[in-house]
Structure 1
Amino acid sequence: MNGIKGLTLSELAARYPAYDTAEIDRILIPALKSLDRQFIVLDDDPTGIQTVYDVAVLTVWDTESIAAEMRGEGTMFFILTNSRSLSHDDTKELHRTIARNIAEASKLTGRDYILVSRGDSTLRGHYPAETETLRRVTEEMLEIPVDGEIICPFFPEGGRYTADDIHFLEENGKLLPVGESEFARDKTFGYTSSNLKDWVAEKTGGTFGAGDVVSVSIDELRREDYRAITEKLTGLSGFRKLIVNALDYDDIKVFVISFIQAAASGKRYILRSAAGILKVLLGKPGRPLLGGAELRSGSSRGGIIIAGSHVSKTTRQLEKLKELPDVVFLELNQHLALDSAAFAGEISRVQNLAEKEIEAGRTAVIQTRRERFDLNTGNREDELRLAVTISDGLTGIVANLRTAPGFIIAKGGITSSDVGTKGLKVRRAMVMGQILPGIPVWKTGPESRFPGIAYVIFPGNVGSDNALKEAVEKLRG
């Protein structure tokens, strides 16, 4: 992998010259202010807000709700699609509906926009179905071409970097090509390629070959060659793909400056990105991690943690959490999911136990059995439907709680979306910020089941082994 595999990030970064960050910011800030379009982020699970704060998240997508956000002063808002939990066909239909409603809202408000399809930083999700659907509907509704697609899975808070067009994740302090990770073996969204040009060819079935994909290298970015990068962007047509290499946020800032210049020329793009670039596009100054005083509700009741993720990192984090006092683990047997009556009884049993712990001021951790339950039918969508059934069971526990917890944490993408929308009945939330790097917090709206509560959306694949333990300590005070 071009001699990068096995390096530390600092060893790789040492190969490139450093930036004058103050000079980049001097160019970036007015460039962002000059942009007359709003960024609308379609988030395939709730974790795309990992790098932003003071932005709205909609869990509904009717035209009037979208128009209300477009009438506001915000430069960005999110629509939670939770499409990673949907089938391929349902995802396409959902994106057709949302793209039409956004275009109608734009006509109603007179405000133009740029679409961002926020996907997983480890490349899982319905790609290219989502961005291709958005492109087709946008072109149909606005009667203008979408010239290119920007692919940017950079997410340093989770240890995700791209160099020489190869996407890496940081594991035990070393850079590992993402195609060699456990995430590439995902039952539903697996892949083999770490080189993003090859990944595009793989995922599009050769519709876009590796040779058709353009990229912006770290060398170009470190030279701050804005003209050359802008020319690459303005040269895109026919929804051609462009990959952004990046090792740090200054790389992204240089790219965004060129992106704004290209957009100002009249070119239109859709972004397929992780959460990293959104931080720069939002244009807000950095803020500290949320403190305990901002997060605690003042309630003496215990919290509840819903752990649906089965990646190895989550398992290690749950083991570390056991070191805290007054944390009680309750196991939900998801292996009963194919027997609806037995599964309903299991859900009721766990809910009753959780309520007793919350009332007693203890933190209830509801986790599924750590042994995976796979159907192994060879059909990826069968596995996805099973995952949704299990997530619905976990969500039902929150939806039917008779006791308001002091806080709520949901672990895993599908789980956290379902807890927010189905369990807590949130229609619009505000992103408070992050409790730990890459771990965002919603403040639930007045319409929700438990208004004004801190709801922590904890990705399955983010954080140190101690991160979940640290979050609970902060929430409990």
Structure 2
Amino acid sequence: MRNVDPAEVAARLRTAPRLAVLDDDPTGTQTVKDIPVLTTWSVDDLRWALRQDSTAFFVLTNTRSLSPRDAATRNREVARALHAASVAENVPYVIASRGDSTLRGHFPLETDVLAEESAAAGAAPDGVVLVPAYIEAGRLTVDSVHWMRTADGLLPVGESEFAKDATFGYTSSTLPDWVEEKTKGRTPADRVLRITLTDLRTGGPDHVAGRLATLRGGTTAVVDAVCDDDLRVLALALAEAEENGSRLLYRVGPSFVRACAGQPAHPPLDPAELRPLRAPDARHGLIVVGSHVSLTTRQLDHLRDVAGDVAEHELDVARLLDPVSRDGHIRDVAYRAATTLAKADTVIRTTRTVVTATDPDESLAISRSVSAALVETVRLITAARRPAFVIAKGGITSSDTATHGLDIRRAWARGTLLPGIVSLWQPVDGPATGVPYIVFAGNVGGDEALTDALALLRRAA
């Protein structure tokens, strides 16, 4: 083990380019504290982010919910606006494309597009550095094999339920093989550079920087990590390699951002910190559940059993997908939820049965349609009654709820409700100002995590 003080990384990064994290859903903020977040990417919004006193900032692209064509278009829009904002503010930047720690998302499409845009701006990347680790959630990489922690022990991600995703499925757990699989052979596994724990812990930053300096022509490197210190060594190595002329593009999980922002692992927010963030004119919160993974269903079951006075309303997916019944069903659920919100914390959730199609794009379209209905329901509820807080469960759900349900444009990620997971945003503009927004991924935490998060928010009342 090689110990690295976060303060050493922070000091090293004071003169480094700003880390711009293009997040394919909002859950990448769950490892950091006091970091700016944008849900839009106008040049003015990006200039605001670049002016903040922070080593990093997030841009919520929500591309995991989009078709490949739309995801490519959105990445191009953000990259071009970011370049214009950087020139206007005279602040250099480096891009991290934040994907899922269980390897779902538009890879290599997103890094391909960002590499093309970087090249057009005169800074073609020498390599793409793939670092999917998410330490708190037990997504670890050892000897280039990516694992996830389960109740029964560590499981190769290629054998998990996430590898069977209708849109982003895969079979490989060894990252070089996964790269070959996802690139359809364009990048053979034997051409992928492996940065191992031995490189990080025995070789150290100088050694790793030297290995990264060998990347050419957009070659991919995959990096091991089982703890924050491994990622801090990488952060120092990246800073050295880039200072010496390497141009790198990152594809990462959540833990990379904390390390490369020079932050330690912060404890969860406590009731005293949460109390001034809660909406003072409301007593009860709204919990929005769109995620359909089995863990979310178990968390909902635990909430029912333990949390006590919680009202619950279901959006029936079959009725949402029927043009005849859709609008009336949304209005009915929204009215009933706004009514119960006056006297109890209130859950609105989609049907737990997953509706998919044989075609991945059609499955994604179904997910988008259901999410749009959920967001419309949130808008109607919050227009009728202001909640004390909003918890959004699921990646697509939390993105769409923030952007379209609550009209959040700019916010600060203030910390977490649970160790390293469940991020709390403080909106700084729009109708949600003063209403803390809690981003809760579908695939993190134990069965009791949703109950624990709600209990903490209640103690802050």
TM-score tier after normalising by the smaller chain length = over 0.9
What is the match of residue 9 of structure 1?
none
Separation in 1 of the partners of 2:15 and 2:178?
34
Deviation at 1:31, TM superposition (A): 2.0
1:347 aligns with 2:330: yes
Separation in 2 of the partners of 1:254 and 1:81?
28
Separation in 2 of the partners of 1:450 and 1:84?
24
- From 329, 336, 356, give the equivalent of 2:339: 356
Structure 1 residues 53, 348: CA separation in 2 closer, same or farther (over 3 Å shift)? same
- From 372, 397, 402, give the equivalent of 1:420: 402
Separation in 2 of the partners of 1:266 and 1:111?
17
User: 3-state SS of the aligned residue for 2:136?
Assistant: helix
Q: Give the alignment of 1:239-254 within 5 angstroms.
A: 239-254=218-233
Separation in 2 of the partners of 1:278 and 1:173?
28
For residue 30 of structure 1, what is the amino acid of its counterpart? Answer: A
What is the match of residue 98 of structure 1?
78
* 8 Å CA contact retained: 2:258, 2:264: no
Separation in 1 of the partners of 2:312 and 2:5?
48
Corresponding residue pairs, total: 452
**Structure 1 residues 239-298: Cα deviation after superposition (integer angstroms, max 9, x where no partner):** 101111011111111111111110100111110001101101111344321122333334
Report the RMSD for the aligned CA atoms in angstroms.
1.4
Separation in 1 of the partners of 2:134 and 2:61?
20
User: 3-state SS of the aligned residue for 2:31?
Assistant: coil
What is the match of residue 49 of structure 1?
29
For residue 27 of structure 2, what is the amino acid of its counterpart? Answer: T
Q: Quick check: 184-193 or 276-285, which moved more?
A: 276-285
What is the match of residue 320 of structure 1?
302
Separation in 1 of the partners of 2:51 and 2:270?
32
1:155 aligns with 2:138: no
What is the match of residue 275 of structure 1?
254
* 8 Å CA contact retained: 1:149, 1:272: yes
Separation in 1 of the partners of 2:59 and 2:302?
33
Which ranges of structure 1 fall in alignment gaps of 5 or more residues?
Answer: 1-17
Q: Quick check: 232-241 or 295-304, which moved more?
A: 295-304
1:338 aligns with 2:317: no
What is the match of residue 115 of structure 1?
95
For residue 426 of structure 1, what is the amino acid of its counterpart? Answer: I
1:389 aligns with 2:372: no
Separation in 2 of the partners of 1:389 and 1:173?
35
Separation in 1 of the partners of 2:452 and 2:231?
29
Separation in 2 of the partners of 1:444 and 1:72?
15
Deviation at 1:338, TM superposition (A): 2.5
What is the match of residue 272 of structure 2?
293
Separation in 2 of the partners of 1:299 and 1:26?
39
1:79 aligns with 2:54: no
1:472 aligns with 2:450: no
Separation in 2 of the partners of 1:414 and 1:272?
19
For residue 158 of structure 1, what is the amino acid of its counterpart? Answer: A
Deviation at 1:224, TM superposition (A): 3.8
Deviation at 1:27, TM superposition (A): 4.7
Separation in 2 of the partners of 1:446 and 1:64?
14
* 8 Å CA contact retained: 1:56, 1:428: yes
Separation in 2 of the partners of 1:303 and 1:227?
49
Separation in 2 of the partners of 1:261 and 1:252?
14
What is the match of residue 385 of structure 2?
403
* 8 Å CA contact retained: 2:26, 2:60: yes
1:210 aligns with 2:192: no
What is the match of residue 221 of structure 1?
200
Separation in 2 of the partners of 1:338 and 1:287?
42
Q: Quick check: 37-46 or 98-107, which moved more?
A: 98-107
* 8 Å CA contact retained: 1:334, 1:343: no
- From 223, 228, 236, give the equivalent of 2:215: 236
Q: TM-score, normalised by structure 2?
A: 0.95
Separation in 2 of the partners of 1:101 and 1:27?
32
User: 3-state SS of the aligned residue for 1:67?
Assistant: helix
Separation in 2 of the partners of 1:343 and 1:26?
53
Deviation at 1:26, TM superposition (A): 6.9
What is the match of residue 14 of structure 1?
none
Runs of 4+ in 1 over 4 A off after TM superposition: 23-27
Separation in 2 of the partners of 1:34 and 1:63?
23
Structure 1 residues 25, 69: CA separation in 2 closer, same or farther (over 3 Å shift)? closer
**Structure 1 residues 414-450: Cα deviation after superposition (integer angstroms, max 9, x where no partner):** 0000110100001101111101121101112231x23
Q: Give the alignment of 1:50-69 within 5 angstroms.
A: 50-69=30-49
What is the match of residue 174 of structure 1?
153
* 8 Å CA contact retained: 2:7, 2:263: no
- From 127, 138, 158, give the equivalent of 2:107: 127
**Structure 1 residues 306-355: Cα deviation after superposition (integer angstroms, max 9, x where no partner):** 11001111011000000221112211101123312302111111111111
Q: Give the alignment of 1:18-33 within 5 angstroms.
A: 18-19=1-2, 21=3, 25=6, 27-33=8-14
Task: Give me the identity figure in percent.
Answer: 39
- From 265, 271, 275, give the equivalent of 2:244: 265
Deviation at 1:68, TM superposition (A): 2.6
Separation in 1 of the partners of 2:455 and 2:7?
39
Separation in 2 of the partners of 1:405 and 1:273?
34
Deviation at 1:144, TM superposition (A): 2.8
Q: Quick check: 88-97 or 292-301, which moved more?
A: 292-301
* 8 Å CA contact retained: 2:36, 2:52: no
Deviation at 1:379, TM superposition (A): 1.4
* 8 Å CA contact retained: 1:224, 1:254: no
Which ranges of structure 2 fall in alignment gaps of 5 or more residues?
Answer: none
**Structure 1 residues 27-65: Cα deviation after superposition (integer angstroms, max 9, x where no partner):** 534322342x10001000010101111111111111222
